[in-house]
Amino acid sequence: MTTSGSTAGASTEPGVRGNGVKAGGVKAGGAKGDGVLVSVIVPCHNSAKTIALCVESVLAQTHPAVELIVVDDAGTDDTAAIAGRYPCTVVRLERNGGAGIARNRGVAASRGEIVFFLDSDVALAPDAVANAVRVLTEDPECGAAWGVYGDRPLIDDGVVERVQVLFGHYRQIQPSPVHTGHFAVGAVRRSVIERIGGFDERLHGQWTNEDHEFGLRIAGNFPVARALDVVGYHDDDDRVATVLRKRFGRAVSLVPLILRRRDLKPEQEALHRPPEILAIGLAFATVPLPLLSAYLVVVPAGLLGWFVALNLPLLAYVRRTAGWRTAAATAALSYAYGFAVGLGGLSGALRYAVDPRFRRRYANAGAPGTAPAAQ
């Protein structure tokens, strides 16, 4: 692991709820919390497309005390060189270990009282850090302040990405309990990490959900909040096949975590809720019924109508924001993505039944006072 720093100029463009936490009303840029040093940790791997936008957005924050740590996770493109043009610390890892390990190395290289995690394909609104500091300053018991994705893509690559961004933004701004972490844009007190440990480095590789595990571990020990004014603009996936693959893989690997933490009900914060998955699955399963009788077409049609009804608030929001065509695309893509999640859940349940190691994957998730084993 190597560390370097540099100096250069920068430019950018551009409510709270929780599990029992309320945060109040000092405006961003006010005096309260201005002296708190915030360490922004950006893990990256082959992120040359977006790293400059990400870094510039951090350097343009209104909060006056920010240090930026960019962790290059053994990338093979120009990400580290691009980041090195800016006034930040660049940590280079020799082996690709995944986002959790990269974030841990970034925390180790940082000094801030508050650690702000930011993905390399996200650019912050100028007041995002200040608003996160406000939440944590005004409620000393609050362990983390999770932000939200903005309602537009960082780089608009078409309708698939616009649907992704609007879908994610809508889900995140809904009033509901907050337990799972959002490490693409979210702040955690350093004292929290020191007490319960960082990301579990045993959970590395694809679809290991080390971020979900760590988020539930935080929520199992501290109150956490969703801060709707901590906003980051995301360059999301723009290919249907990529989204389907990710939804399926994550659904498989989340099964043991969901079953282990029934008290926190993490599935209630998922992009696709259980009733939607049920409606999608039943509609698909009953498609052959009209072959028995034409009258039976009402069964899959009715189940499809149930799915649409469950999503009417989302579809109405997308229509108001982006028009009818995007709303229609949202309905179709949401059905396809939900179907992938359902298949992934079934696959994960079968694996959970036969694989003891899979069942024990998240042994410490959310347990009070626990930390991952030393590596």
231: DSSP letter: E
Domain boundaries of the chain, sorted by first residue: 2-236
In this structure, the number of other CB atoms found within 10 A of the CB of residue 226 comes to 27
Q: Are 127 and 62 within 8 A, CB to CB? A: yes
Residue that has been written with the tokens 């969901």 in this structure: 258
Q: Are 37 and 9 within 8 A, CB to CB? A: no
For 163-197, write each residue's pLDDT tens digit: 999 999 999 998 877 878 899 999 999 999 999 99
Rounded alpha-carbon distances, angstroms, from residue 330 to 266, 315, 317, 323: 24, 7, 11, 11
**pTM of the full structure:** 0.86
Reported residue count of the chain is 375
**Rounded CA separation 9/179 (Å):** 38
Mean pLDDT estimate for the chain: 87
* CATH number of this structure's domain 2-236: 3.90.550.10
Tokens encoding 301? 């049609």
When mean pLDDT is compared across 4-13, 92-101, 120-129, 224-233, the lowest value belongs to 4-13
Residue that has been written with the tokens 């932000």 in this structure: 147
For 296-329, write each residue's pLDDT tens digit: 999 999 999 999 999 999 999 999 999 999 999 9
Would you say residue 16 has pLDDT above 50? Answer: no
For 145-159, write each residue's pLDDT tens digit: 999 999 999 999 999
